[in-house]
Amino acid sequence: MAQPIKKTIAVLGSTGSIGKQALEIVQANPDRLQVEVLTAQNNADLLIEQAIAFEPNAVVVGEEKYAYVKDALQKHDIKVYAGADALCQVVQMETVDMVLAAIVGFAGLRSTLAAIEAGKPVALANKETLVVAGALVTSLAKEKGVNIYPVDSEHSAIFQCLAGEFHNKIEKIYLTASGGPFRGKDKTFLSTVTKADALKHPNWKMGEKITIDSATMMNKGLEIIEAAWLFSLKPEQIDVIIHPQSIIHSLVQFEDGSLKAQMGLPDMKLPIQYALFYPQRMPSSFKRFDFASYPSLTFEKPDMSTFPSISLAYEALRKGGNMPCVLNAANEVAVSAFLNGGIGFNDIPTIVEKCMQQVHYIDKPTLQEYIDTDIDTRKEASSLAKKKIRA
């Protein structure tokens, strides 16, 4: 019997929550997947450990950790590079079949664009890439004939619901949200919450930034914009529904009124694996759903006034241009200021809103204009955050 073809992958952000789970999938499918590239920013020790275990062709690390990683891997046949330009180069290597984009934030944009430019299919976890520059990313993917496979669980759910629907139009989609740790709370309560409270997500274990985004509901806001680009939807075709059990990962409503949902236990390995192996569903040992453990699945409307981030994301999507880029940069800065103990939880959406009012609007930005918008917004958001700390 012929051997199955091995796919070589570049795992960008291999030391993160998504990256580590992707490597578990590689471990479980050694005859189907091979790691060609691993990358990290600061976590040099884990990157070294992963490199020794997976023997990639190359690793990329943040510049400050270059000498340390180079030294640790000198006896291994693994190339060591550093910095953002190197990230863009390694994804374009001829030996890379697919790129898993799992860097967090704006920092993932250039390497994702570089992968698409080189014609590499992308399994996309880094939602900020589509939020910041969805027009640029999707038009380049179209031009290069590159497929983008969603890793985000909601978007993977929509993608799975669309299998076999060919030209059947989407009437609308429902993105489900757990509601995060503060579901049902009011603004007064939120003004007192700490970093530790906000990092306690009820259903998912994820990186810190996305966990805070889930608590503010900005994660759902970013996902609205991500969905608009992935599935060519207008803002009014995207709805958010709170589903605290996180079993239904999202739904598509078609023009005949029929709804299709994708369900399963909350486990990111499933959407990661689906993206890596699409269109094949690989057998897995992931825990199976047990109906008796979930006698009721419940749904409620999101509380947009306590959690204004969803409305801000709709506004950014409707305005278009560089506005989602402003939303994203302001949010990244505000989340990091909250995590560093500087600002309160309710300050996060306030800073985002102020930046959206203050930063210069550009209708059809170039890549350079997105980069400039990101820099300008970060300055503005940092100065707003500093004022909050002093206040």
Chain residues in the site for Mg ion (CB under 5 A): 152-154
φ, ψ of residue 363 in degrees (nearest 5): -70, -50
Give me 213's structure tokens.
Answer: 């985004």
**Which does residue 107 touch among Mg ion, ligand NDP, none (CB within 5 to 8 A, set by kind)?**
ligand NDP
Interacting residue with ligand NDP among 10, 34, 35, 41 (CB under 6 A): 41
Q: Which residue has the tokens 């860097």?
A: 103
Give me 214's structure tokens.
Answer: 């889930």
Q: Quick one: which segment of 23-31, 122-130, 226-234, 299-307 binds ligand NDP (CB under 6 A)?
A: 122-130
3-state helix, strand, coil in the chain (%, to 5): 50, 15, 35
Interface of this chain with ligand NDP, residues 166 to 205, rule: CB under 6 A? 204
Residue closest to Mg ion, measured at CB: 152
Please say which residue, 181 or 207, places its beta carbon nearer to ligand NDP: 207
Indicate the helix (H) or strand (E) that contains 388: helix 367-390
Please say which residue, 128 or 303, places its beta carbon nearer to ligand NDP: 128
Q: Quick one: which segment of 9-17, 114-122, 234-242, 250-258 binds ligand NDP (CB under 6 A)?
A: 9-17
Please say which residue, 126 or 250, places its beta carbon nearer to ligand NDP: 126
Please say which residue, 226 or 376, places its beta carbon nearer to Mg ion: 226
3-class DSSP state of 75: coil
Q: Specify whether the backbone of 282 is left (phi greater than 0), alpha (psi in -120 to 50) or beta.
A: beta
CB 191 within 8 A of CB 344: yes
Interacting residue with ligand NDP among 58, 100, 116, 128 (CB under 6 A): 128
φ, ψ of residue 111 in degrees (nearest 5): -70, -35
Please say which residue, 154 or 347, places its beta carbon nearer to Mg ion: 154
For residues 262 to 281, the per-residue mask of contacts with ligand NDP, x marking binding by CB under 6 A and - elsewhere, is ------x-------------
Q: Quick one: which segment of 38-46, 90-98, 164-172, 356-364 binds ligand NDP (CB under 6 A)?
A: 38-46
Is residue 321 classed exposed, middle or buried when 0-12, 13-18 and 19+ CB atoms within 10 A define those classes?
middle
Interface of this chain with ligand NDP, residues 87 to 116, rule: CB under 6 A? 102-104, 107
15 binds ligand NDP (CB under 6 A): yes
Q: Which residue has the tokens 């402003």?
A: 326
CB atoms within 10 A of CB 388: 18
Is residue 331 classed exposed, middle or buried when 0-12, 13-18 and 19+ CB atoms within 10 A define those classes?
buried
Please say which residue, 64 or 143, places its beta carbon nearer to ligand NDP: 64
Interacting residue with ligand NDP among 198, 206, 317, 351 (CB under 6 A): 206
Give me 86's structure tokens.
Answer: 């190197």
Whole-number Å distance between alpha carbons of 123 and 232:
18
**Which does residue 15 touch among Mg ion, ligand NDP, none (CB within 5 to 8 A, set by kind)?**
ligand NDP
Residue closest to ligand NDP, measured at CB: 16
Q: What is the 3-state secondary structure (H, E, C) of 164-228?
A: CCCCCCEEEEEEEECCCCCCCCCHHHHCCCCHHHHCCCCCCCCCHHHHHHHHHCHHHHHHHHHHH
Among 302, 183, 170, which Cα is nearest to 236's? 170
Please say which residue, 152 or 347, places its beta carbon nearer to Mg ion: 152
Give how many residues touch ligand NDP by CB under 6 A: 26
18 binds ligand NDP (CB under 6 A): yes
Interacting residue with ligand NDP among 17, 112, 336, 377 (CB under 6 A): 17
Shortest distance, CB of residue 223 to Mg ion, whole angstroms?
A: 6
Please say which residue, 54 or 182, places its beta carbon nearer to Mg ion: 182
Give me 290's structure tokens.
Answer: 């047990």
Please say which residue, 153 or 328, places its beta carbon nearer to Mg ion: 153
Shortest distance, CB of residue 41 to ligand NDP, whole angstroms?
A: 4
Q: Which residue has the tokens 């640029």?
A: 136
Q: Checking DSSP bridges between strand 58-61 and strand 33-39, what pairing results, if any?
A: parallel
Judged by the rule CB under 6 A, the positions of this chain that interact with ligand NDP are 13-19, 40-43, 102-104, 107, 125-128, 152, 204, 206-207, 209-210, 268
